[in-house]
């Protein structure tokens, strides 16, 4: 369990207050971060899609876990007391009957149905659940988003730790990346650096390399060797105790043009511009506009669709830094600032930092990158 029970109790208390306002009798949660948010149930076993897992948070009283027997021992190590299990997979009834029993007595049941959510159970079982309950489930009215979007001090400390691990790994990139080294080898060795510096695991690594910039930022690494004049970018979402960092660093493979360094410097300026406005009361949209003004002169962003986002238990969380997101910044939000710049010829450079909003202004969680890219 990553936190003391008081942390989880506080989360449940906040959820229950919101459920009363929303007229909900219970929340039904099915995804890894939502289940873990209230229980502390932390395992990489979710990588297996086979078994569904459920947590019920009632409007009054303690949460109820409805889970496969294989998870009973681990759930019993959390603060959750009411743990109901079935031996999954069960082709006749993979937990639905048990879940229906646990939900008996609740009438207005909500589950997350908005942006960035999904229901992690087979659709046929979801329909069966609704049939057996006798009424359709409701949405959660954005309760999980509202709760998880604002981090506690304990959560911020975890994210900061993840960022520090990545800081140390990025500082060691010159050990593994030089002209002639295949990008695929850089990817492997960078993940090893992340682990060596303290990551529990490295769920996410993306990047790219190309002359003066790269063509895209989500492709897997090829075996193409780094070439003189390339910009190399590595973007990692590593995890420590269940919390992510998510930021990148750019490196020049040998000397690059002044224009390339200037493009990078402009991204740093964009982050600085966002930091200048990232105060309580500003909005996600304000951060977008501050960065977009520097990078495109206010043209409205790029194909990435946004210039940053929340992070925490997942690599990306609400809000999105887009013009349409008017979420007010409040103390405790952890965000990425992720401006990208088109450098022509179908190439770009993307830069990313992690910050936390505090009552006294924003604070970097990642060690901010210098204006000039380090030269490998």
Could you say which residues in the range 169-228 bind its own copies, by CB under 8 A? Answer: 184, 187-189, 191-192, 195-196, 198-206, 215-221
Phi, psi at 65, each rounded to 5°: -95, 130
In whole angstroms, give the CA distance from residue 28 to residue 51: 16
Q: Does 354 bind its own copies (CB under 8 A)?
A: no
Residue from 16, 285, 314, 354 binding its own copies (CB under 8 A) = 314
* 109 touches 99 (CB < 8 A): no
At residue 40's C-alpha, the angle toward residues 36 and 45, to 5°, is: 60
Could you give the CA distance from residue 149 to residue 326 in angstroms, rounded to a whole number? 14
Cβ 299 to its own copies, closest distance in Å? Answer: 13
Can you tell me which of 122, 174, 254, 370 binds its own copies, judged by CB under 8 A? 122
Please give the Cα distance from 40 to 34 (Å, whole number): 10
Q: Could you say whether residue 135 binds its own copies (CB under 8 A)?
A: no
Stretch that binds its own copies, among 73-81, 291-299, 354-362, 368-376 (CB under 8 A): 73-81
Interacting residue with its own copies among 4, 23, 61, 89 (CB under 8 A): 89
Map residue 101 onto helix, strand or coil: helix
Q: Which 19-48 residues touch its own copies, going by CB under 8 A?
A: 42-45, 47-48
Nearest-approach distance from CB 238 to its own copies, in angstroms = 11
Cα radius of gyration rounded to whole Å, the chain: 22
Separation between Cα atoms, residue 140 and residue 111, nearest integer Å: 5
Identified binder of its own copies from the candidate list 51, 148, 151, 158, rule CB under 8 A: 51
**Smaller CB distance to its own copies: residue 302 or 358?**
302
3 state DSSP class of 132: helix
CA 41 vs CA 10, 34, 56, 246, 302: distances in Å:
16, 10, 14, 22, 38
Q: By three-state DSSP, how is residue 83 classified?
A: strand
Chain centroid to Cα 92, Å, comes to 35
Report in angstroms how near the CB of residue 370 gets to its own copies at its nearest: 27
Residue of the chain from 104, 123, 153, 281 that contacts its own copies (CB under 8 A): 123
Kindly tell me which of 87 and 131 has the beta carbon lying closer to its own copies. 87
Span 95-114, contacts to its own copies by CB under 8 A? 111-114
Contact stretch for its own copies (CB under 8 A) within 115-123, 261-269, 270-278, 358-366: 115-123
Burial class (CB in 10 A: 0-12, 13-18, 19+), 27: buried
Q: Reduced to 3 states, what is the DSSP secondary structure of residue 341?
A: strand
Q: Which of 69, 107, 257, 372 binds its own copies (CB under 8 A)?
A: 69
Work out how close the CB of 372 gets to its own copies at its nearest, in angstroms, rounded to a whole number: 27
Contact 194, 236 (CB under 8 A): yes
Residues 249-308 that bind its own copies (CB under 8 A): 303-306
- CB of residue 360 to its own copies, shortest distance in Å: 29
For position 145 contacting its own copies by CB under 8 A, the verdict is no
Residue 335 interacting with its own copies (CB under 8 A): no
DSSP annotation of 297 reads S
Cβ nearer to its own copies, comparing 130 with 269: 130
For its own copies, which residue of 27, 94, 238, 357 counts as binding (CB under 8 A)? Answer: 94
Number of residues in contact with its own copies, rule: CB under 8 A? Answer: 77
């Amino acid at each position: 369990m990553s936190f003391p029970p008081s942390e989880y109790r506080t989360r449940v208390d906040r959820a229950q207050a919101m459920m009363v306002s929303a007229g909900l009798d219970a929340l039904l949660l099915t995804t890894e971060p939502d289940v873990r948010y209230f229980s502390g149930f932390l395992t990489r076993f979710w990588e297996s899609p086979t078994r569904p897992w459920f947590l019920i948070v009632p409007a009054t009283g303690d949460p109820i876990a409805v889970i496969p027997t294989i998870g009973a021992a681990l759930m019993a190590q959390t603060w959750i007391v009411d743990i109901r299990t079935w031996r999954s997979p069960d082709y006749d009834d993979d937990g639905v009957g048990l879940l229906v029993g646990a939900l008996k007595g609740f009438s207005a049941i909500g589950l997350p149905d908005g942006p960035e959510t999904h229901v992690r159970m087979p659709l046929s079982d979801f329909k069966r659940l609704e049939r057996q309950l006798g009424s359709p489930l409701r949405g959660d009215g954005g309760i999980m988003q509202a709760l998880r979007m604002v981090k506690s001090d304990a959560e911020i400390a975890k994210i900061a730790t993840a960022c520090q691990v990545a800081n140390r790994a990025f500082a060691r990139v010159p050990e593994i990346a030089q002209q002639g080294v295949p990008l695929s080898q850089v990817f492997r060795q960078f993940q090893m650096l992340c682990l060596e510096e303290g990551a529990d695991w490295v769920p996410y690594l993306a990047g790219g390399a190309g002359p003066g910039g790269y063509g895209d930022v989500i492709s897997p690494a090829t075996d193409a060797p780094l070439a003189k004049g390339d910009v190399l970018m590595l973007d990692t979402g590593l995890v420590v105790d269940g919390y992510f960092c998510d930021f990148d660093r750019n490196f020049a493979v040998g000397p690059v043009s002044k224009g390339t360094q200037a493009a990078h410097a402009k991204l740093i300026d964009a982050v600085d511009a966002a930091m200048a406005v990232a105060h309580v009361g500003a909005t996600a949209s304000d951060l977008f506009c501050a960065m977009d003004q520097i990078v495109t002169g206010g043209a409205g962003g790029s194909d990435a669709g946004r210039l940053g986002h929340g992070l925490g238990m997942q690599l990306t969380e609400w809000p999105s830094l887009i013009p349409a997101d008017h979420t007010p910044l409040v103390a405790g939000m952890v965000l990425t600032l992720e401006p990208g710049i088109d450098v022509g010829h179908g190439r770009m450079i993307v830069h990313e930092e992690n910050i936390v909003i505090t009552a006294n202004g924003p604070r970097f969680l990642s060690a901010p990158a210098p204006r000039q890219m380090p030269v490998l």
